[in-house]
Chain A
Amino acid sequence: MSKKTLTLMSKDKQLFNIEEHLAVQSVTIRNMVKEDGASSVIPLPRVDSETLALVIEYLNRQQAPEEDEDYVKKFVDERGEIPTLLELAQAALDLDIKKLMDAACMKVADLIKDFTLEEVREALRIENDRTPEEEKAIRDEFQWAF
């Protein structure tokens, strides 16, 4: 029996094929397959092609279950740039792939854990939308944590 293949379409309309039994590690895809047999193309409007290629690479891994934890850690370690990790986390959230989501978020946490707040703003592209007075008010409100 030949293995059934699904086609996933990224936000920028690129198509990716993947065997169904691997694709259903994503709970989102599993539910789609259950509902309508997912015969046609599955659109993923929030995932760009670069990120989707990474997700497919992850889903295609051939690891024994007991090596899986190490594999996913190594997988995100090798893609250790914060923007890539955040894109991966977003895709993993949309596709509901828990292990990938956990590993990507844990890696980001690990990278920023010794940063000052200013460095976190820079790394995560956060615009400080408070005036110095407003920021002081927050530090006063939660002064037990500063």
Chain B
Amino acid sequence: MLQIKRKTIISDQMDDRISNLPDEIISHILSFLDMKYAVQTSALSKKWKYIWTSMNHLNLNSQSSRTSPLFVKFVDDALSHRNHLTQVSAVELSFTGAATQFYSVVTSIVNYAYLRHVTKLTIEWFRLNTESFRFPDHLFGSHTLKHLSLATHDFYGFGVFIPISAWDFPALETLNLSNLVLRGGTVESFDFFSKCVNLKDLTLHNCAMSGLDIFNVLLD
């Protein structure tokens, strides 16, 4: 009997501490969850209403929405409700389906990452068709990005237009390009990495070039 009582006291104390979790821990936990689910936690209690607006790592996945237009709307609404005083360190976007459907999402994520000085950006496509895609040029001029990963999961499924000027990533340390066709236009030779002075880790996996004869990789 005594033992049961004691156990109740301990678990009451524990309940109390857990329900008083600092916002910092809650937002850190939310950072590891899909963003749609994170927004839904606003319904848990009054304290949780705005915690999702301050998480510093965003995971956006088109499969969390029933249709692509719903996902596009979700991303728009979620980004506009964010607390803009919070530093965002990482954004991950993955989507399934035709790139054209998600063009506006990719553009707003790239703009968001650029304006919010994000240090890690990951964009991943699943099951896509063969149409070409052009990123906003300023993706390749971010001065804060340290880690960039652009990947599709179809072999040569995709053509990505890249701007014809050296990529200006002074802070970039890791670059991963996977299953992409780089389309340079009509220049013969182009030194992509001359301005990537901090690049330490470069992965080119199943990448092809189109309209480019020489691909220069000069790293120290």
Contacts and interface: CB of A to CB of B under 8 A. Distances in A.
Decide if A and B are genuine partners. yes
Given A93-B25, A126-B44, A113 B17 contact: no
A83 B45 contact: no
A101 B43 contact: no
A95 interface: no
Contact of A113 (B25, B33, B74): B33
Contacts of B44: 117, 120-121, 126, 128
Contact of B29 (A87, A105, A135): A105
Which label, helix, strand, loop or mixed, suits the secondary structure of the A interface? helix
Contacts, number: 89
Nearest to B33: A109
Interface in B68-88: 73-74, 77-78, 81
Interface stretch (B34-42, B137-145, B185-193, B203-211): B34-42
A109 B59 CA distance: 13
B116 interface: no
Nearest to B48: A126
Contacts of B74: 144-145
Contacts of A87: 14, 17
Interface in A47-73: none
Contacts of B48: 126
A126 B19 contact: yes
A84 B137 CA distance: 47
A115 to B, nearest CB: 9
Given A93-B22, A105-B28, A142 B37 contact: no
Interface residues of B, number: 33
**Range, interface on chain A:** 20 to 34
Interface in A63-118: 83, 86-87, 89-90, 93, 101-102, 105-106, 108-110, 112-113, 117
Contacts of A117: 40-41, 43-44
A35 interface: no
A126 B47 CA distance: 10
Given A105-B28, A124-B18, A145-B36, A129 B43 contact: no
Contacts of B17: 86-87, 90
Contacts of B15: 125
A142 B46 contact: no
Contacts of A90: 17, 21-22, 25
Contacts of B34: 113
Contacts of A120: 41, 44
Given A113-B37, A135-B43, 6 more contacts: A83-B18, A102-B28, A105-B28, A113-B34, A130-B46, A146-B43
